[in-house]
Structure 1
Amino acid sequence: MSDTTIPSNRGSLRRSGRNLLKLLSGKAINAPLGLLQISLTIHLLGDKGYGFLILIHSFSQTIGDLAEFQSWQTVLHYGLKPYENKNIPLVQRVLRFSFLLDICSAIFAFIVGILCAVYFSSYLGWPPEWRYLGIFYSFSVIFTTSATSNGILRLLNRYDLIAIQGTVSTSTRLLGILCLILVGGGLTGAVGIWMLASIVSFSSFLTFALYQLHRHGLLKGFLNGIHEGLTKDLPGIWKFAWNTNLNMTFSLAFKQITTLVIGGTLGPIAAGYYNIANKIAEAMAKPIVLLQSTLYPEMVRSWQSNKPSHLYKMALQITLLTGVFTSILLLILPYIAVPIMHILLHKDPTPETLTLLYWLAGAELVLIWGMSLEPILITTGNTSGAIYARGIDVLIFLPMLLLSIQWWGMTGVGPATVIAAFILIFFQAFFILLARKKKKLQRS
């Protein structure tokens, strides 16, 4: 079968499976390194120091994600077909557009990050004596925009390099923390190590991407067609880029923004405990999340080849497989949660933290059962439906989160997260069905 032949449904799943194994190979290395790094960091800094480190890192990630366009989706959506058709000038135009978005995002994130760190640190839960460290770390926000590099490696099917790159940041932090323990460093050194990890991770991602472009002959004459304009023969690319960016902005409510809200209301120690519980819950679902990322190119191939039945059948098969797998993992979690948290915290977790973990794991399970919905919305061009679903979810979740924390403390985060997960998949399914109904009416 040639490279441009549209694969069968079984072929798409096999390719996704191979790419998943590549990503999992990186995670198999990264997971124990990450747990060891967390344990050593808490040992070095204590609960409060680790919590503060998580707060300033979440702040940097939030600003970066808010500013960053999800250029990897743009690269796949607009670059896959011309790449398979060997239309190099059009592929280069897509990449130039995407790189420009990343550069503008980085500049905007840098300016906003510094201003927010200087003027709003008191609202972020940063202890006054460590405020200067938070301001210093906010400079790292410029190194959070690697979406185009990610998209290039996906486009060229180099998931093995994505797996390798995924271990770079964790390895850098681990080695840095080990050095600090040996020489007697403290929080200032840890902040510097985490900032260095961001820089090294960004640089490695960009290096991998540029080298692969060179190997495939996509860098030759890269700037020759710049006079033709950024978006020639790319209809709707600006709308697609803005919509995917807004969708990611809304999805932050389940990630860094939750950490920031907890830190601002309950303090850095609570933020650290939430971060650990959330990492364990996410680890349970990590293979599934990685599988979702490998499905995007296959869905794009199916849709652009006018094979919607292939797309929906693949989505259904994946949903059933991953849903059952994650449900089994959730049943095992109560038997391993306490030992894992004891290793990380160097003491037994509080009942409050343990309860929060189970709630967060339940939310992950709900999201896994709906994991195919958002890729379907984006792949089929219904990015507005994805945004509306996320937007409605956030409008309900954030007030609910604040009230839950006020009434029940950190334990209240769990039920709010589970309810929000149900709301999200409900509206995603609703907008998929609504779009399909409209198409049927148009045909009749």
Structure 2
Amino acid sequence: MHIADAIPVASPLNTDWTAIPVHHGRKLLRRLRHRETDTHRDGAWQGILRNTGWLLAGKIVGAILSLIYLGLATRSLGPTAFGQFVLILGTGQAIVTIVSFESWQLLLRYGMERLRAGQADALGRLVAFCLILDLAGALVGACLAVAGVALLGPWFGWSTGTQSQALAFCFVLLASFRSSATGVLRLHDRFGAAAFAETVTPVVRLIGALLVLSLGASVLGLLIAWAVAELITAAAHWVLAFRVLPPRREWWRWRGLLAVPKECPGLWRYAAITNAGSTLGLVGKQVAVLLVGASVSPAAAGGYRIAHQLGQALANISDMLSRATFSEIMRARAGHTAAQLARLFRSASLLALITAAIMIAILLLFGRATLLLLAGKHYMSVYPLVLILGTAAALDAGSVSFEPALLATGRVWLALRLRLISTAFLFGALFLLLDKMGPIGAALATLLASLLALVMLGTAAWRAVHQPR
């Protein structure tokens, strides 16, 4: 027998607490609680780093490939045709942003407790409910797309054929919903699978762009390539999600679906507020591209889109951090104390600020060379836009932990109000500066709105996690 086998193991389950003096027992309890706190804190922090690593791998691949296929499209189509392609793409993305439900947030908010409790049927009904919300958003978006294309077509100078192409492209984007599938993967901590599914989009787009260019570059061909990529990406998400959580018939019973809002108190309120805030945060950036195209020219919109895409390659990093942070904060909310949540918030905020500083350094060191490689000498005039929009993306990266913290601490209305203020400021600045300064004005409006959101959300989030109700 080993010596270790003869030594009793001290644990809360086999310790004779009556044989320990009271003051020693209190010390031991404090130590055990401290260990448990450290374990929860380290686990949550490691979860953010691990999930961020998975998302980072996918985003790096996506960013590199997106710059390649965007460069191919820019050089092959020419400024005017590329501008038309950008306007159609921006219209579809803006409509999808307006009507889409961020159902993955609902799944993390209400599904985490059901997953921990082993309530498989309740979780399945919630997944089915969120899928129906996604489908309803797509149907509403189809009606909005018909009206939007009819309204914007003459404004952009689109022919009847171009309007039909834009409408068909919008329909495909709307049909490619995958938010609920993404929520299932993140809920089960399958960030690697989610990163793989996201990588499908740039890979298929690049293959499609190369095929289209070999057959003769055209706006219609690139739209088809983009549409096929969205459909395949959505299929990949759902295949992986249903491998993690196989669907069952009982999820789709009408009575069970009607019971979901009762089983999840505050679901409608949470869904409305979070989706409104998310829409406000994203739609302004899409509208800026459309306003540049409408007020200046399609070619100007194409140049603005290139600068926006370079900034967006950096913004993908902030989006990656936001998703990982939101998932871990919601996981922490289900089992951690307010003090532990505050420590997690500070760690995530520090990581976000470091990321923002790195983004600005990359922008200054490699921004000009990347623009030259991507679009050629004809688009070097948009380099100031790259600097401004890239800095705005860095500010967004610095604030990625703020809104998840507000949502996790129950300040959903406050988060929405602050988003309303920053978005209203963005639109006001756009209409004021775009008329006087052109695309540079639109970029400055975006930068100022990002700075305002950083200050407001940061102040509110710090108070929320350090001054709990």
Comparing 329-338 with 409-418, greater Cα deviation is found at 329-338
1:84 aligns with 2:116: yes
Partner Cα distance (1:21, 1:331) in 2: 20
Partner Cα distance (1:129, 1:223) in 2: 40
Contact kept in structure 2, 1:401 and 1:416, CA below 8 Å? yes
Output aligned runs, 1:169-318, within 5 Å: 169-214=201-246, 219=248, 221-223=250-252, 226-227=255-256, 229-318=259-348
Aligned partner of 1:372 in structure 2 is 401
Contact kept in structure 2, 1:385 and 1:428, CA below 8 Å? no
Q: 1:118 to 1:110 in 2, by over 3 A?
A: same
Taking structure 2 as the reference length, what is the TM-score of the superposition?
A: 0.86
1:12 aligns with 2:41: no
> Would you say how many aligned residue pairs link Structure 1 and Structure 2?
432
Comparing 301-310 with 67-76, greater Cα deviation is found at 301-310
Partner Cα distance (2:359, 2:253) in 1: 52
Partner Cα distance (1:225, 1:186) in 2: 47
Aligned partner of 1:407 in structure 2 is 436
Partner Cα distance (2:299, 2:235) in 1: 32
Comparing 380-389 with 169-178, greater Cα deviation is found at 169-178
Higher Cα radius of gyration: 2
Task: Identify unmatched segments of 5+ residues in structure 1.
Answer: none
Cα distance, 1:117 vs. partner?
1.0
SS of the residue aligned with 1:317?
Answer: helix
Contact kept in structure 1, 2:55 and 2:191, CA below 8 Å? yes
Residue identity matched to 2:357: S
Residue identity matched to 1:55: L
Aligned partner of 1:106 in structure 2 is 138
Aligned partner of 1:30 in structure 2 is 62
Residue identity matched to 2:306: I
Cα distance, 1:126 vs. partner?
4.3
Cα distance, 1:96 vs. partner?
2.1
Output aligned runs, 1:287-436, within 5 Å: 287-347=317-377, 349-351=379-381, 353-432=382-461
1:71 aligns with 2:100: no
Q: 1:378 to 1:8 in 2, by over 3 A?
A: same
Cα distance, 1:374 vs. partner?
0.5
Aligned partner of 1:134 in structure 2 is 166
Cα distance, 1:384 vs. partner?
0.8
CA-atom RMSD in angstroms: 2.3
Q: 1:120 to 1:365 in 2, by over 3 A?
A: closer
Residue identity matched to 1:232: K
Residue identity matched to 1:271: A
Aligned partner of 1:57 in structure 2 is 89
Partner Cα distance (1:314, 1:435) in 2: 13
Cα distance, 1:251 vs. partner?
0.8
SS of the residue aligned with 1:381?
Answer: coil
Taking structure 1 as the reference length, what is the TM-score of the superposition?
A: 0.90
Q: 1:159 to 1:340 in 2, by over 3 A?
A: same
SS of the residue aligned with 1:176?
Answer: helix
Partner Cα distance (2:249, 2:132) in 1: 18
Residue identity matched to 2:55: L
Q: 1:233 to 1:133 in 2, by over 3 A?
A: closer
Comparing 237-246 with 183-192, greater Cα deviation is found at 183-192
Comparing 229-238 with 152-161, greater Cα deviation is found at 229-238
Residue identity matched to 2:417: Y
Comparing 231-240 with 339-348, greater Cα deviation is found at 339-348
Write the deviation string for residues 403-425 of structure 1: whole angstroms up to 9, x where unpaired: 11111111112221221112212
Residue identity matched to 2:214: L
Partner Cα distance (2:354, 2:260) in 1: 45
Q: 1:26 to 1:366 in 2, by over 3 A?
A: closer
Comparing 76-85 with 184-193, greater Cα deviation is found at 184-193
Contact kept in structure 2, 1:82 and 1:88, CA below 8 Å? yes
Contact kept in structure 2, 1:247 and 1:386, CA below 8 Å? yes
Partner Cα distance (2:70, 2:125) in 1: 42
Cα distance, 1:185 vs. partner?
4.4
Q: 1:239 to 1:175 in 2, by over 3 A?
A: same
